[in-house]
Structure 1
Amino acid sequence: MHLTYSSHIRKTVAALTLTATSGLCFAQYRSDADGPFLPSPVRSASTVPGNGDVNPYGVAFIKNNFQTAGGPLQPGDVLVSNFNNNQNLQGTGTTIVRIPKSGPPTLFFQGTAPLGLSTALGTLQYGFIVVGNLPTADGTSGTAQAGSLLVINNQGKLVQTITSPDINGPWDMALVDRGDHAIAFISNAISGAVSRLDFAVSPAGLSLLSSKTIASGYMHRGDPAALFDAPTGLVYDHHRDVLYVASTLDNEIFAVRDAADRRHDDGPGEIIYQDNQHLHGALAMAMAPNGHLLVTNNDVINADPNQPSEIVEFTTNGQFVKEIPVDPNLGGSFGLNVDTSNGSAMLAAVDDNMASLMIWTLKLN
């Protein structure tokens, strides 16, 4: 499926592409009659499973070191978690869909309600999938529960449910895989804080070693349209030991230093990117192969009908690079991820409006 964009959007993004030569380069392009080339997804696939769950949120790649023995997952597959049920009630989705490298989507996991599988989705090389669970009773923030992390094996079976006082509405997650040790940085929608959970990992599962709040003070509130406006996207830079945090309601990107070693909460960190022209409710976030950050806009803050459902690329020094359109209507851009572990660079992003996943191939040079 190729989306149709308005003429204004086509020309705006084309101009940005021409002026931001250091930004992402796409391996495949589509030509528009009234403007230069625009990136077109290599592939688009439905994320709706047989039970009718919608509102795809989390995106995770199966990397080449993932232990696939005994299960259907293969390197290059993409997993997508669904947050809503077939009645479109938020915080009631129970499924994870597998988008294989080739072939049609299939159901990978279906849990038992009450569940609400959020943007917090990641994989560990021992063959585990970790997903945040933020359930509601009726699709409103007033009935939202603290939730948990679910640990699922490579056969799609739930093996663990992890709870902690530092898990309070897991909205997104940066999962750092270090083999027999892992760190889960979690943004919590209910408390508006960011937690760090340290785990020992073995073929038997995950053992929680410690947990603590490492950052707080982000604006947060319930929202009928988005369930919560709260800190969301997290990216961990292990070279600098910096955790980048996209705070939706603040509409800013923060940097939390010494994230893996921090022993106390010292507030939200420092603002590294503030841009009301291009940020419209900063949401999920990923790091591109060129070291830039990619953040989606959910359009519930500072909405601009001329820039709907955009992915914004910017440097870690806070310099805007360009925008990538996801959907011609507001509210379509949510979860995304980037993978470079399988011999190429891939960008995958969900379109909530279409309940679909789009995948682009990126040039590494």
Structure 2
Amino acid sequence: MRIYESFSRRGIDAPLLRQGSRSGWSKTFTAVTLLVWLLVCATGVGLAQHRDGDDAFLPSPVRSVSTVPSNGDVNPYGVAFVGDNFQAGSGPLKRGDILVSNFNNSMNQQGTGTTIVRVPKSGSPTVFFQGKKPLGLSTALGTLQVGFVVVGNAPTVDGTAATAGPGSLLVINNQGKLIQTITNAAIQGPWDMALVDGGDRAIAFVSNALTGTVIRMDFKVSSGGLTLRSTKTIASGYIHRGDPVTLFVAPTGLVYDDRRDVLFVASTGDNAVFAVWDAADRQMDGGLGTVVYQDNVHLHGALGLAMAPNGHLLVTNNDGINPDANQPSEIVEFTTDGRFVKQIPVDPAQGGSFGLAVRTTEDKAILAAVDDNTATLTIWTLNSE
């Protein structure tokens, strides 16, 4: 396909890009769905808001842990899994760990959080990284197999949008040490990121809160850090503005589908999810892209974005746009052709749903999502056995 050809031209191995894809998962997911259905039938509990006969992904919560570190940082934003190919070395990270970035400090000032918390498969969370001011670690969080954690820094001076700076991308090694700070004129409040790992090459798609744009940054990757090869603005025109409650209303969640070379963009102010085609190849700004999902009944400020193993998209809602007190802090599941499937709440109050991530293995799927209201991470697990 074009994306594999494109990355081949850049020297990126196609098999590496296939890691985490949905191929080979259909039998496993069918078993998972059957298990959920049997449980539903046995207990008499229905799948709320389930329509169109689609096989839903969203399960029931099974684990909740605090994301508040020793320095008191709150407002967990980004969520990322440590992959099976991550070179942990002698560092604290283990494959399957969950990382959570904190955006606020202990005084709850937005854009001032300095920590990334490690949530192991079992046991208590620990601090993986603690940086120095000025930092505001955003939803832009990901890992590279070489052993790096990459996180967006969208700092403010006093917790208000008026004092927000352009920010940067931080590169942290597997020991939890900052090794590189990447700044660029195109980085303007890195709000979220989709990180495509190709071994010795990587692409970072970054949504910008200050400009309402999405950029593509192509990197060469080595054990010493990331070398920027090129930067392109591939999408623009999304609603973006400062907000006293959410700090920014701007394009946020990003999911990259390598099979079709399409980047999905959740834009909070537009309350919609868009598709930007030829994302890894395009050399020109594609504007907003194409609307994939726009549903004022179930969307209430589309925010974080992830892809389920059944090919559906999951989007969180910050309740800052089109709020509905009867549908607070929802994660909404929908198909890539725009059909609603299901929704579940993260918190009984509004404003709790933000970052999320999905990890799939041969025998299970794991969904992790933060609750900003309680500064916790909720983890759902589906087993095929």
Structure (1 or 2) with the greater helix fraction: 2
Aligned match for 1:235, one of 255, 269, 275: 255
Aligned match for 1:192, one of 205, 212, 227: 212
2:51–2:341 contact (8 Å) kept in structure 1: no
2:74 is matched with 54
Which amino acid counterpart does residue 267 of structure 1 have in structure 2? G
Structure 1 distance, partners of 2:364, 2:336, is: 23
1:93 is matched with 113
Which amino acid counterpart does residue 268 of structure 1 have in structure 2? L
Task: Give the aligned length.
Answer: 342
Aligned match for 2:299, one of 279, 284, 292: 279
- 1:36-57: CA deviation from partner (whole Å, max 9, x where unpaired): xxx2x22110000000000000
Which amino acid counterpart does residue 151 of structure 1 have in structure 2? V
Aligned match for 1:301, one of 305, 313, 321: 321
Structure 1 distance, partners of 2:361, 2:252, is: 24
Is 1:330 the counterpart of 2:350? The answer is: yes
| 1:325 Cα deviation from its structure 2 partner | 1.1
Is 1:75 the counterpart of 2:95? The answer is: yes
Structure 1 distance, partners of 2:46, 2:285, is: 39
2:381 is matched with 361
1:23 is matched with 56
The DSSP-based 3-state class of the residue aligned with 2:203 is: strand
Aligned match for 1:178, one of 198, 202, 220: 198
1:25–1:363 contact (8 Å) kept in structure 2: no
Structure 2 distance, partners of 1:142, 1:152, is: 28
| 1:166 Cα deviation from its structure 2 partner | 1.2
C-alpha change, 1:171 and 1:287, in structure 2 (3 Å) is same
| 1:15 Cα deviation from its structure 2 partner | 3.4
- 1:49-90: CA deviation from partner (whole Å, max 9, x where unpaired): 000000000000011100011201001100000000000000
Structure 1 distance, partners of 2:45, 2:249, is: 28
2:27 is matched with none
1:175–1:182 contact (8 Å) kept in structure 2: yes
C-alpha change, 1:355 and 1:13, in structure 2 (3 Å) is farther
Moved more, 128-137 or 13-22: 13-22
Which amino acid counterpart does residue 319 of structure 2 have in structure 1? D
1:64–1:342 contact (8 Å) kept in structure 2: no
| 1:262 Cα deviation from its structure 2 partner | 0.7
Structure 1 distance, partners of 2:236, 2:45, is: 36
Aligned pairs for 1:12-161 within 5 A: 14-17=47-50, 20-24=53-57, 26=59, 39=60, 41-161=61-181
Structure 2 distance, partners of 1:260, 1:166, is: 17
1:135–1:147 contact (8 Å) kept in structure 2: yes
The DSSP-based 3-state class of the residue aligned with 2:48 is: helix
Is 1:209 the counterpart of 2:229? The answer is: yes
1:63–1:341 contact (8 Å) kept in structure 2: no
Which ranges of structure 1 fall in alignment gaps of 5 or more residues? Answer: 1-10, 27-38
Structure 1 distance, partners of 2:336, 2:171, is: 32
Aligned match for 1:162, one of 170, 182, 188: 182
| 1:14 Cα deviation from its structure 2 partner | 3.5
TM-score (norm 2): 0.86
Which ranges of structure 2 fall in alignment gaps of 5 or more residues? Answer: 1-43
1:24–1:363 contact (8 Å) kept in structure 2: no
C-alpha change, 1:181 and 1:343, in structure 2 (3 Å) is farther
1:192–1:220 contact (8 Å) kept in structure 2: yes
Runs of 4+ in 1 over 3 A off after TM superposition: 11-15, 17-21
- 1:123-179: CA deviation from partner (whole Å, max 9, x where unpaired): 000000000000000000000000000000011000000011111000000000111
The DSSP-based 3-state class of the residue aligned with 1:142 is: helix
Structure 2 distance, partners of 1:292, 1:15, is: 17
2:351–2:372 contact (8 Å) kept in structure 1: yes
Aligned match for 1:352, one of 350, 372, 383: 372
Aligned-pair identity (%): 70
Which amino acid counterpart does residue 92 of structure 1 have in structure 2? T
C-alpha change, 1:118 and 1:18, in structure 2 (3 Å) is same
- 1:260-307: CA deviation from partner (whole Å, max 9, x where unpaired): 001010211011111000000000000001000000000000000000
Is 1:247 the counterpart of 2:267? The answer is: yes
2:267–2:273 contact (8 Å) kept in structure 1: yes
Structure 2 distance, partners of 1:155, 1:138, is: 30
TM-score (norm 1): 0.91
2:58–2:333 contact (8 Å) kept in structure 1: no
